[in-house]
């Protein structure tokens, strides 16, 4: 996402253009500039309309792809003319296509199997967060049930509420790739929470970065709420081992949250780079690309299509 200091955004607005690639601002800080002969245009499109996307000129790949399409069509015409008019057959026989198709199918199935395994692993981490949330509240109530004052009940209620907010923030963070909504929008007191994230991180980030920080900040707030009883007299001192037993649930929750965020965009890993994404092993990608290339180059070019 472009920011106020983004050189592309400044160039789009007609600012910061120089003949050099680098320069210094008035504070002596090094900045990157866009050269004068580079045209910057924002690409916008309506993803719901396939027709407008296919025929849009701004940002389209047609100028680069169309010459190859024309060359492929011209090559097809030449091959057909040589075979049927001149009797010169330069096509490739297709006996090995079936075997190549089996190999490609095997690699596709392997890729899908890997993706499904990652999905089920992320689902297991999601179950852990729900289980740990229930376990944390139950352990807290069990270990402090001898304290029945109004202040103690309010403290238990606040811890339970903080746990629910942490769980909701975590779920909202995992849904960001689909909803494009900040996780803070679903939190109670989201304005103060957002300000806290900005204050602690030192700068304001985009929604994707904020989603990373929100569960960690909520976990800190939950730990603080749990340990608040140390400064109050309404809860009798509990055994340090029991106290660590409660806090251990928060540690396990954050561990599961980190794993969920690591796999939440796994469905995009095959197509593009994603954050903290466990990419497919290089040998799998390498052989998949190699076999796909030869399969398409033989079956998908005129040398293989015409003979079939």
Residue for token pair 């081992």: 241
C-alpha 176/C-alpha 264 separation (Å) is 9
- Residue 74: domain span: 50-84
Q: 137 and 234 share a domain?
A: yes
Is 280 inside any structural domain? Answer: no
Residue 30: its H or E element: strand 30-32
Is 304 inside any structural domain? Answer: no
Q: 79 and 104 share a domain?
A: no
Return the SS3 of 23.
strand
Q: Which two tokens stand for residue 79?
A: 């091959």
Model pLDDT for residues 213-257, shown as the tens digit of each residue = 778 888 888 888 888 776 666 666 677 777 787 888 888 888 888
Contacts of 80 (CB under 8 A, 6+ apart): 306
Q: Please, what's the b/e burial string for 142-168 (b: 16 or more CB within 10 A of its CB; e: otherwise)?
A: eebeebeeeebeebbeebbebbebbbe
Residue 77: its H or E element: helix 62-84
What pLDDT is stored for residue 274 in this prediction? Answer: 38
Higher pLDDT, 134 or 204: 134
Tell me what the pLDDT averaged over the chain comes to: 69
Model pLDDT for residues 59-82, shown as the tens digit of each residue = 777 788 788 888 988 988 998 899
Is there a contact between 245 and 136 (Cβ–Cβ < 8 Å)?
no
Is 283 inside any structural domain? Answer: no
Is 300 inside any structural domain? Answer: no
Q: 238 and 119 share a domain?
A: yes
Residue for token pair 């990373």: 212
Is there a contact between 290 and 100 (Cβ–Cβ < 8 Å)?
no
For the entire predicted model, the pTM comes to: 0.50
DSSP 8-state secondary structure symbol assigned to residue 24: E
Is 302 inside any structural domain? Answer: no
Is 307 inside any structural domain? Answer: no
Kindly give the interhelix angle for 150-174 and 207-227, rounded to the nearest 10 degrees.
160
Q: 197 and 105 share a domain?
A: yes
Is 92 inside any structural domain? Answer: no
User: What are the C-alpha distances in Å from 117 to residues 96, 252, 280?
Assistant: 32, 22, 12
State which of 42, 58, 74 marks the end of a domain: 42
C-alpha 230/C-alpha 247 separation (Å) is 14
Inform me whether the pLDDT recorded for 25 exceeds 70.
no
Is 103 inside any structural domain? Answer: yes
Chain-centre distance for alpha carbon 106: 27
Please tell me the least confidently modeled range out of 15-29, 216-230, 251-265. Answer: 15-29
Q: 112 and 243 share a domain?
A: yes
Is there a contact between 36 and 17 (Cβ–Cβ < 8 Å)?
yes
Q: 77 and 189 share a domain?
A: no
Q: 17 and 123 share a domain?
A: no
Higher pLDDT, 30 or 176: 176
Q: 104 and 121 share a domain?
A: yes
């Amino acid at each position: 996402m472009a920011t106020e200091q983004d050189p592309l955004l400044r160039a789009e607005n007609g600012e910061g253009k120089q003949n050099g690639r680098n320069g210094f601002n008035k504070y002596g800080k090094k900045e990157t500039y866009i050269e004068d002969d580079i045209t910057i245009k924002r690409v916008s499109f309506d993803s719901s309309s396939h027709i407008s996307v296919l025929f849009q000129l701004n940002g389209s790949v047609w100028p680069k792809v169309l010459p190859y399409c024309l060359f492929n069509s011209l090559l097809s015409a030449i091959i057909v003319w040589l075979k049927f008019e001149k009797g010169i057959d330069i096509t490739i026989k297709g006996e090995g296509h079936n075997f190549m198709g089996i190999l490609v199918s095997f690699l596709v199935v392997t890729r899908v199997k890997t993706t499904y395994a990652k999905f089920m692993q992320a689902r297991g981490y999601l179950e852990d967060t729900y289980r740990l949330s229930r376990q944390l509240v139950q352990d807290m109530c069990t270990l402090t049930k001898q304290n029945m004052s109004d202040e103690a009940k309010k403290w238990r209620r606040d811890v339970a509420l903080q746990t629910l907010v942490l769980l909701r923030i975590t779920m909202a963070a995992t849904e960001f790739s689909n909803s494009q909504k900040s996780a803070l929008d679903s939190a109670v007191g989201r304005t103060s929470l957002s300000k806290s994230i900005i204050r602690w991180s030192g700068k304001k980030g985009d929604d994707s970065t904020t989603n990373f920080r929100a569960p960690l900040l909520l976990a800190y707030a939950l730990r603080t709420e749990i340990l608040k009883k140390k400064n109050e007299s309404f809860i009798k001192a509990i055994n340090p081992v029991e106290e660590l037993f409660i806090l251990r649930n928060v540690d396990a929750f954050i561990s599961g949250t980190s794993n969920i965020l690591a796999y939440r965009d796994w469905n995009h890993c095959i197509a593009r780079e994603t954050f903290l994404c466990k990419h497919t092993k290089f040998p799998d990608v390498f052989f998949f690309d190699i076999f796909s290339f030869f399969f398409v180059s033989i079956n998908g070019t005129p040398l293989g299509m015409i003979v079939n």
